Amino acid sequence: MFNFEEGEVILIDKPLDWTSFDVVNFIRSLVNRCYGIRKLKVGHAGTLDPLATGLLILCSGKMTKQIDAYQAQVKTYTGSILLGQTTPTFDLESEPNAFFPTNGITAEQIEAARQKFIGDIKQYPPKYSAIKIKGKRAFDYARSDEEIELKARDIHIDDFRLSLDRFPELDFEVTCSKGTYIRSLANDFGKELGNGACLKSLRRTRIGDFRVEDAWPLEKLKQHIIDTGDAFKEWKNEQMEKEQKQN
């Protein structure tokens, strides 16, 4: 049984098409309904885009103070990069805006490009991102066709593995620092090849020592909260009665 008010760290396998805030609001509302907790602090440690799945750390109560520490930890992602096209959002959330032939790309060129993205590098965030510039989200500027200046950020990529088995789609696994945009990595990789690329799929598998294999599927977590809600209410009533008797 969870003690959401005291503080919980819950690992969730975020489903496709949900935003990270969708998950936070869903859990907060569910806990309110099932546990009777009206004002519950809930936050997540690291945003996943709607088209990404995988590990999302949710913190409640006093454990929300640990969010920054979890966000700072090294993360591992798997997914696929599609060569031969670019999109404004650097993934498949938007329609392609350019196409490139891929039949001239060699395994040697891909390996040489891969090596360029290991270690300390500078990376520009996507213009369709939630980064704030002068109090406004970058994607708000992009949607209104306003020009903005995005500053490069220092990131570190520990490991970047690629498989050419499904070329021109490249399956990957990347381990990287906080602040790394895998969408930007895909786009920049295409540029390094003198071609184009966008992110086709993405799944976060690890944050620090936390792994997606240990995470709750959202539907199972929902059912667990529903099943344990009444037990929590009974326990809380017992604690209140004990306190009243002591007073």
- Residues annotated as catalytic (active site), given as ranges: 49
What does the alpha-carbon distance between residue 67 and residue 243 come to, in Å, rounded to a whole number? 32
Token pair 């690291």 in the structure block, residue:
46
Tell me the three-class secondary structure of the chain, residue by residue: CCCCCCEEEEEEEECCCCCHHHHHHHHHHHHHHHHCCCCCCEEECCCCCCCEEEEEEEEEEHHHHHHHHHHCCCEEEEEEEEECEECCCCECCCCCCEECCCCCCCHHHHHHHHHCCCEEEEECCCCCCCCEECCEEHHHHHHCCCCCCCCCEEEEEEEEEEEEEECCEEEEEEEECCCCCHHHHHHHHHHHCCCCEEEEEEEEEEECCEEHHHCEEHHHHHHHHHHHHHHHHHHHHHHHHHHHHHC
Contact between 146 and 136 (Cβ < 8 Å): no
Q: How far is CA 73 from CA 12, 47, 177, in A?
A: 17, 13, 7
